[in-house]
Structures are given as C-alpha cells and as structure tokens.
Amino acid sequence: MEYQRSTRKNPLTGEDTDVFETPYSKGKWKIVQCISTGMVFLENPPEYSELEEDFAWERTYLEEKRRRKESEPILSGVSDFGKRLRKRFRKLARVEHTVLRVLSGKDSPITNGQARVLDVGCGGGEQGIKCVRLLKERHDIDAIPIGVEISLGLAKVADDGMREFGGHCVQAAANVGIEALESDSIDLVILRSYLEHESSPLDVLNSVHKVLKPGGFVVIRVPNFDSWNRKFRKGRWCGFRYPDHVNYFTPKTLKVILENAGLRIFESRITDRLPTNDNVSLVATK
C-alpha cells in the first residue's frame, strides 16, 4: 500500500497527515484514509464559492437522485417507497423528535422560557422552522430560528421563512455565519446532514462551541461509513456523494472530532449507531 502526505489537512485534527487512496475515488475526486486516525475524506473538495451555485445541495441532490433512479431503478423505487411510508406513519423525524425532547427535558439549558435554535446548513429552513413551531405548540417554549446556509437560493428561502418567527438566515460559509453570533448565545445547534459536507469541520465545531451556551446541545446526524451496507455495496453505497460529501465519519471518528472541539457526547443511543444503520446520530453538549 502506497502512503503519501495529504494535500488537505485531516478533518479530525486540522493537521497534516499521511494517507492512502481508497477504492472509492471517482474521476477527479480522490477519497483517502488517514493512516493514524482512520478518518476517510475527500482530499480535493470544491471551493466554498463553488458550493454557492455550481455544487449547491439542491442541484447535486437532484442529480444524484436521477442517477440512482437510472442505474438502480428497483432499489431506488424501494427506497423512495420506504421514505414515503416512514413519512406517513412517523409523526416527527428523528432530529425533530430529539430537539423537542432535549429542550423540554430536565437538562434543558433554557432559563427564561425562550430558546435560540441554530440550524447550520439549513437548506430552505423547513427543519428549524418546524422545530420552533412545535416547541411552542407542544411545550409552550418560545424559540427563535437562526440559519446558516451557503446556497444563495436556499438561504433566501430560509431567511424569508425564519423572519416570520423572529429569526433570520445568514447566507455564508458555516464558519463565517456562526462566528457572527454572540458567544454563549445559542441553546441548541442542529447539524443534520451537514458535517459530511464541510471542508473544515473542526473549525466549525470550534465555532459551535463558542456560541453554544454552557449545557447547550448539538444534535448531529451524518452518514455512517462503518455501516454494513457500505461494506456490502462498496462504491454503490448511498452515502457516497461526489463531490459534496467530503467527510466520511464513523461513530469513533465522530467522537474524536467532538472531543477535539471541546464538546462531549451527552446521548448516543445504541440504535443510532448500529452498523445496520446507514447513519449515525447523537447529541453532544458543552
């Protein structure tokens, strides 16, 4: 196996690292694995400016969905049916349920009956807005949604929606948008399907640590590189997205990067990190 020095710093540590190329590279997009930490990542991610439009999520998502439908129509159809079924019978998505539970629980950081909820990589803002609305309806908690989104189009949609609830959305790279907020001012941060897209995840988590209140929560969900499905399907695994997935976490590497940012795991249910699951979810705290 041939080792080399990566041209991108290790996402877990922010340091130079020796890597080897994995079989999952595709075209010009090179996926490598760190020898010392085991972290798997895209060595040559797109520039932030390209993510505003050229590789904006709403474009790459539709392109990937179309590709999978054409290459694996039966599997794609079964997957879509399963999603529709879950949406029909599940009242709340996993992340929404977690947000409501931890902010209304005995360990909630809310002290004055009002919460500030930050959704990083918020897309069109639907998730953060829904959480804020449900917090009021179910627990009488007044919450303000704040979003950070790099896509020009989605940030505009999110900002329009969040202003109706007293919040707003910043159109910027995540670290820039988060750093603009006051220290110790956020009760809960949502990082759902975001960290896998971020070229500098440790910097972003350091910024999250800065703006999060002591005892505040970070709700995280990312694809699980340790899943059996990835090992079975290899390069056809649903977690591979070129080039907008730039980090491939496992439960172990996710724990490491959180600790490096000064955060600790508050809740990690075994059902949310099983190898049968294509995603890993947890709640961290400051």
> Strand order of the sheet with strand 168-171?
168-171, 142-149, 114-120, 186-192, 212-223, 279-285, 264-267
The CA distance from 155 to 241, in Å, is: 22
Q: What tokens does 128 get? A: 């953060």
The closest of 136, 254, 135, 132 to 191, measured between CA atoms, is 254
What CATH number is given for 91-223+270-285 in this structure?
A: 3.40.50.150
Q: What tokens does 159 get? A: 């900002």
The reply to whether the predicted model has a pTM over 0.85 is yes
Q: Please report the pLDDT score of residue 112 as a whole number.
A: 83
Q: Please report the pLDDT score of residue 53 as a whole number.
A: 52
The CA distance from 80 to 86, in Å, is: 10
- CA geometry: angle at 257 spanning 254 and 258, to 5°? 85
The closest of 76, 54, 52, 74 to 64, measured between CA atoms, is 76
Q: Please report the pLDDT score of residue 79 as a whole number.
A: 47
pLDDT digits (tens, 9 = 90+) for 155-174: 999 999 999 999 999 999 99
State which residues of the chain have pLDDT below 70.
Answer: 48-92
Domain boundaries, the chain: 91-223+270-285
pLDDT digits (tens, 9 = 90+) for 16-41: 999 999 999 999 999 999 999 999 99
Q: Report DSSP state, residue 112.
A: S
